[in-house]
Structure 1
Amino acid sequence: MNTPRLSNALLPELAAKGIDVPGYDRSAVTPGIVHFGVGGFHRAHQARYLDELMNKGEALDFGIVGMGVMPSDSKMRDALAGQDHLYTLTEKAPDGGEHARVIGSIIDYVFAPDDPQAAVDRLTDPAIRIVSLTVTEGGYNFDHVHGEFDYDDEHVAADIADLKRGETGHLRTFFGLVTAALAARRAAGTTPFTVMSCDNIQGNGHMAERMFQAFARAVDEDLATWIDAEVPFPNSMVDRITPETTDGDRADVVSTHGYEDAWPVVCEDFTQWVLEDNFVDGRPAYEHVGVEVVSDVVPYELMKLRLLNASHQGLCYFGYLAGHRLVHEVMNDERFPKFLLAYMELEGTPSLRPLPGVDLDAYRHELISRFGNIAVKDTVARLCAESSDRIPKWLLPVVRENLAADRPIELSAAIVASWARYAEGVDEEGDEITIVDRMADRLHETAQHNHEDVLAFLRDREVFGDLVDEPRFTEAYSRALTSLHEKGTAATVDALLEQVGRA
């Protein structure tokens, strides 16, 4: 007997088995949001919140249309198209409890390379009131030291040239597609859409606004002025640990629920979304399903980026070098929870803004518990990926603020040193490390000089700026990297804990 594929037609049967399925008429859902970057996190987070809202009978005019621009995005298009854009979300608690539900808030998927003009037309439709983004930290196309838009990217440059000629049929980037649609809406007198970033960048809305403004200014100064006046870019803070989907996750859906899902999502049971209330043409009532809709997101962003995200970097390189491949395995070694709590308390937390009503000690300990969630099976390699985009945004701001305020930086410096050691491309057992990073070749080459010049890795000013000129930082960094070379990860972390009185 063939195993059925997830589909609209299968939903009544799944509901009869006790599986949570959309409780609303999906045929009544109409497009209201276009989302760039439909991956595991978006489907575990923003799409899940919207599905919950639709189950309350609300926001049925805010159905999500996914839009892909990368060649690899065709895989998501095909997976979702083959099952009516439904997918299974399994939330896993630390105690082993699981809750599976079928999400129905994504109603279509447009693969822009197939027909860029059709993608622009979809974005131009007045029904689309929000364009949301999870395009990763590197997707915003800016220089990490100076923060300026990178006009040298070949696809960006080609899109700018096309738009200056009034051509929209061959656009390659989400910058080009979104800007073309905004230009068309301006010309037609149509209300623009809100651009809502949901990426792990401090001031993500401000960053998106600056980058889109820079792109638009290169196309048409008047258009850039109009965008500045008319298009909101709300900030947001998003949080949910979501590992990459594995074949084992797909097999679990079949064995547990009796149907096939080409791309299910597995995540932890914790979720958080803090969103600035800054929209031009309405929005879903996210606050009805637990989203914190506020006037100022920045304190929450800093809490998450400098505690959770920076701590992920604090465990991943050390953990991988020591031979661990799953995050919960790292956390089973008691030195690592101690190290992360020390970093968060002594260096991360002092760099935060006031957060009235938030128990930061409880938040820090909750993070330790979340990292140790064995059911999630998050991989250390996932956390090590794209470090050249992550470290400058999550950890280096902590370093710079603490240097300026004459506060401790030893643990942060050691985390950077662990990245430098990881970039050498071999762990402590001599096994090769596959470095996943847009700058992988360059980082690996630079790290080969760590032994002859302990500051070699720091001399890359595109990544680190002027930190190599800060003696207090370079001294702490040098001690940690030398210890990693001579004594290994365990001894290095133990020495750091002894140094800060947490051994």
Structure 2
Amino acid sequence: MNTISYHYDAEKITTGILHIGVGNFHRAHQQFYTNAILESEDQKQWGICGVCLLPSDENIVRSLRAQNLEYSLTVCGRNGTDEVYKIGSLRELIWGIEDPEAVINKIADPSIKIITLTITEGGYNLDKETGAFILNDEKIQHDVKNPGTSSTVFGFVAEGLRRRKLNNNGGITILSCDNLQHNGNTAKRAFTAFVEAQDKELAEWMKTHVSFPNSMVDRITPAVSPEDVVRLNQKSGIEDLAPVYCEDFIQWVIEDNFIAGRPAWERAGVEFTDDVTAFENMKLSLLNASHTLLSYPSFLMGYRKVDQAMEDQDVVRFVRNFMDTDITPLVPAPKNTDLEDYKKTLIERFANHSVSDQVSRLCFDGISKFPVYIIPNLITMIKAGIDLTRVAFLTASYRHYLKYKTDDHGHSYEIGEPWLTAEDQKLIDDENTLAFLELSAFKSADLKGSVKFVELYTEFANQIKNKGTGPVLKSIIK
């Protein structure tokens, strides 16, 4: 196996970025890009200081510290060829549970020009219905009332910014690297709401001293099990306590709005833009929507791994027809992007055996995924008179998945829907097939008002129940 080591003197790298949330995706994505640009003599100031804030982070902190913060990243090729990279761009690691003052002082340090975040969508503490910051959360209230004794990311960042302001240490960029639409706007809304509740003067300072660019991130990075650690180390020949593996595809598009400077990430393939919207729409409508589209039918057909489902040519044609017929007319390709190549690559990525995802993970939390990935384009499709066959079949499959909890082979399963309400459950239990179309996930669309959608959906719901998902899918593919 080919092992690629970095060729810079890690001891001469200084930290200009503080990253909160040192998980697998960060180590396969941002660290990968940064590791590459540190080879340039004029980029030595852009090493990363990692910050972990949770008690559950103890294992990763201790593992990385035991090996001088270096780790191996196995990039799994779609052609079956893997490459191992030694990553040295993580130069400091602070555990907030152990030393909270060190976190705050580092945020205030004038050498830090960018705070990056991977704290998950839920980490921004926004109400799913209104999008408003949840101020009445117990931990948030504690941090609002007790500056400097922080337990949340908002408390830590606010106190660091306050000291930064007090010491005239200059502005800073907060860059979300989480996989959510307009993540910079989300971060701005959350951090601004917290600071306004705690310190009006600091909130005013932030208006001119903190920028929040939006970014779009993409790289499939599976969780690493203890068995994976053994497997990866055997293949690489490296004794690594914290190895990571990922697919060979990688993308990062960032709005170029950095108030205190930035690394030359473009040298490693990052794309900078004035507006990330077109890239987000492409990813949400093609990658994320296709994941949702294949998830419920594939699961009901008995597939439990995505790459296994993609060995079924009926599933492949179903997904490709959705991309080509339903979505491509609605999604303008971003500048310099070949949409045909992007779609072809997506199919290859879904089929990559080395980074196979669980279909159950794609099925998880459909109540949150449908409103973001499916419904906006479905509304447009209904208005434009576009063929609704595939999305109606998906909706019928989702109902069957939630209602009957048994796949085509008679195997029962548990569903994962943390945001399912009591009213939703009544609609699922209702024997009237149309009741399901009033589910909270669909509330922004008048699905019952579309005669064609209702006709297709009702027919598919009955056919799936009587014939099974596989035969119905076969009947609708081109």
The answer to whether TM tops 0.5 is yes
Q: Kindly state the Cα deviation for residue 168 of structure 1 after the two structures are TM-superposed.
A: 1.9
Residue 342 of structure 2 is matched in structure 1 by 363
153-162 vs 271-280, which moves further: 153-162
Please name the residue that 2:449 is paired with: 471
The AA in structure 2 aligned to 1:373 is: N
Change (3 A) 1:184 1:257: same
How far 1:196 sits from its partner (Å)?
Answer: 0.8
Identity of aligned residues (%): 36
- The residue number in structure 1 matching 2:195 is 216
Structure 1 residue 490, shift from structure 2 partner: 1.0
Contact persistence 1:50–1:59 (CA under 8 A): no
Segments of structure 1 that go 5 or more residues without pairing to the other structure are 1-16
Distance 2:401 2:346 in 1: 24
Q: Which runs of 5+ in 2 are unaligned?
A: none
Paired residue type of 2:137:
D
2:145 aligned residue (161, 164, 173):
161
Decide whether aligned partners of structure 1 residues 345 and 145 sit closer, same or farther in structure 2, where only a CA change above 3 A counts: farther
Is residue 113 from structure 1 mapped to residue 92 from structure 2 by the alignment? no
The number of residue pairs the alignment matches comes to: 475
TM-score by length of structure 2 reads 0.89
- State which of 185, 191, 197 in structure 2 corresponds to 1:206: 185
Partners of 1:475 and 1:183 lie apart in 2 by: 59
| 1:86-165 matched pairs, under 5 angstroms | 86-162=70-146
Shift of 1:286: 0.6
1:84 and 2:68 aligned: yes
Query: Cα gap change, 1:384/1:406 in structure 2, threshold over 3 Å: closer, same or farther?
Result: same
Q: Which residue of 1 aligns with 2:413?
A: 433
Query: Is 1:183 matched up with 2:162?
Result: yes
Equivalent residue in structure 1 for 2:14, among 15, 30, 35: 30
Conservation of the 8 A alpha-carbon contact between 2:289 and 2:373: yes
2-structure distance, mates of 1:268, 1:444: 40
Judged with a 3 Å threshold, the aligned counterparts in structure 2 of structure 1 residues 236 and 97 are, in CA distance, closer, same or farther, namely same
| Aligned mate of 2:249, from 264, 267, 270 | 270
User: In the alignment, which residue of structure 2 is the partner of 1:286?
Assistant: 265
Conserved in 1, the CA contact under 8 Å of 2:211 and 2:258?
yes
The change in CA–CA distance for 1:364 and 1:36 in structure 2 (over 3 A counts) is: same
Q: CA deviation at 1:232?
A: 1.0
User: Secondary structure, in 3 states, of the residue corresponding to 1:191?
Assistant: coil
Does residue 53 (structure 1) correspond to residue 37 (structure 2)? The answer is yes
- Cα deviations by residue, 1:304-332 (Å, 9 ceiling, x for unpaired): 12111111112222222222122111101
CA positional deviation for 1:373 = 1.4
Partner Cα separation in structure 1 for residue 81 and residue 39 of structure 2: 23
Q: Secondary structure at the match of 2:349?
A: helix
Letter of the structure 1 residue corresponding to residue 471 of structure 2:
A
1:449 partner SS: helix
For residues 247 and 34 of structure 1, the distance between their equivalents in structure 2, rounded to whole angstroms, comes to 28
| 1:195 CA drift (Å) | 0.9
- Counterpart CA distance in 2 for 1:429 and 1:481 is 17
1:237 alignment partner, one of 206, 216, 225: 216
Residues 305 and 291 from structure 1, CA distance in 2 versus in 1: closer, same or farther, beyond 3 angstroms? Answer: same
Distance in 2, matches of 1:128 and 1:438, equals 38
Distance 1:421 1:137, change over 3 A: farther
Deviation at 1:259, TM superposition (A): 3.1
Q: Secondary structure of 1:100's match? A: strand
Q: Which moved more, 1:193-202 or 1:250-259?
A: 250-259
In the alignment, structure 1 residue 491 sits paired with structure 2 residue 475: no
Cα 1:469–1:20 change in 2 (3 A) is: closer
1:178 to partner: Cα distance: 1.6
For the residue of structure 2 that corresponds to 1:50, the secondary structure is helix
- Equivalents in 2 of 1:186, 1:470: separation in Å? 54
Post-superposition shift, 1:485? Answer: 3.2
CA contact (8 A) 2:368 2:419 kept: no
| Residues 394-450 of structure 1: CA deviation (Å, up to 9, x unaligned) | 33332334345454444334434434443455444444435455437x589828934
2: CA distance, partners of 1:420 / 1:101: 44
1:96 Cα deviation after fit: 0.9
Aligned CA RMSD, in angstroms, stands at: 2.8
Q: Which amino acid aligns with 1:61?
A: Q
CA distance in 1, matches of 2:117, 2:378: 28
Structure 2 counterpart of 1:471, which letter?
A: G
Partners of 2:53 and 2:97 within 8 A in 1 = yes
User: Cα distance, 1:300 vs. partner?
Assistant: 1.2
Structure 1 residues 116, 482: CA separation in 2 closer, same or farther (over 3 Å shift)?
farther
Letter matched to residue 465 of structure 2? H
More displaced stretch, 332-341 vs 59-68: 59-68
Whole-angstrom distance in 1 between the partners of 2:406 and 2:433: 17
1:154, 1:475 → 2: CA distance?
48
Contact 1:450 1:456 in 2 (8 A): no
The answer for the alignment partner of 1:21 in structure 2 is 5
